[in-house]
Amino acid sequence: MKQNLQESGTDHVFRGRSVWVLFLALALQADVAWSHVHEKGDIQVRHPWSRATPPGAKVAVGYMEIRNRGSQPDRLLSVSTAVAKRVEMHVTQREGEVMKMRQVESFEIPARERFALRPGGSHLMLVDIAQPLDKGARFTMTLRFERAGELEIELEVQERGSRHPRH
């Protein structure tokens, strides 16, 4: 009887550990799937994405959230990618009743704050794309920051008309 109790207790501990290991494995896998994060120094780029483009399109967009966890501001100075001849930084501003887009030389990333590139706001304009971007495709982009230096990121192409990342 005593032996059965010990075996039962050991079996219970083993099952508990198995469940815990399975839980950790699933949590890590989910974190990788849900978290699309790139880091360099104090800069963290979260959920970089683009939209699919129709055949014949010559421009595309890039969106992401940039977090500066440092005590000093940083600036995004330039961006490059193999899928476009050049990448421009744009802001969208309201002028009266009209929304206008204009190119800027850099994006200021304030210390301990987030800077969002999103539809209807600041964004990256990929000019003269080599071919249409298809939903589900991924491509790399290099961001050059004043303080953090170069950071290579991967963007996921979402469906046309998407308003936010779906990963």
Beta bridge partners of 154: 140
- Cα-only R_g, the chain: 22
Q: Which residue has the higher pLDDT, 159 or 113?
A: 113
Residue 73 has pLDDT above 70, yes or no: yes
At residue 100 the predicted structure's pLDDT band, cuts being 50, 70 and 90, is: confident
State which fold the 37-158 domain adopts. Immunoglobulin-like (2.60.40)
- Please state the rounded mean pLDDT for residues 11-38: 52
DSSP category for residue 134: P
Per-residue pLDDT, 29: 46
For the four alpha carbons of 103, 93, 68 and 74, in that order, the dihedral sign comes to positive
The count of other CB atoms within 10 Å of the CB of residue 89 is 20
pTM of the complete model: 0.75
Per-residue pLDDT, 96: 85
At residue 118 the predicted structure's pLDDT band, cuts being 50, 70 and 90, is: very high
At residue 21 the predicted structure's pLDDT band, cuts being 50, 70 and 90, is: very low
Cβ atoms of residues 90 and 125 within 8 Å? yes
Q: Is 158 exposed, middle or buried (0-12, 13-18, 19+ CB in 10 A)?
A: buried
Hey, where are the domains in the chain? Answer: 1-35, 37-158
pLDDT, tens digit (0-9, with 9 covering 90-100), for 128-167: 999 999 999 999 999 999 999 999 999 999 977 555 555 4
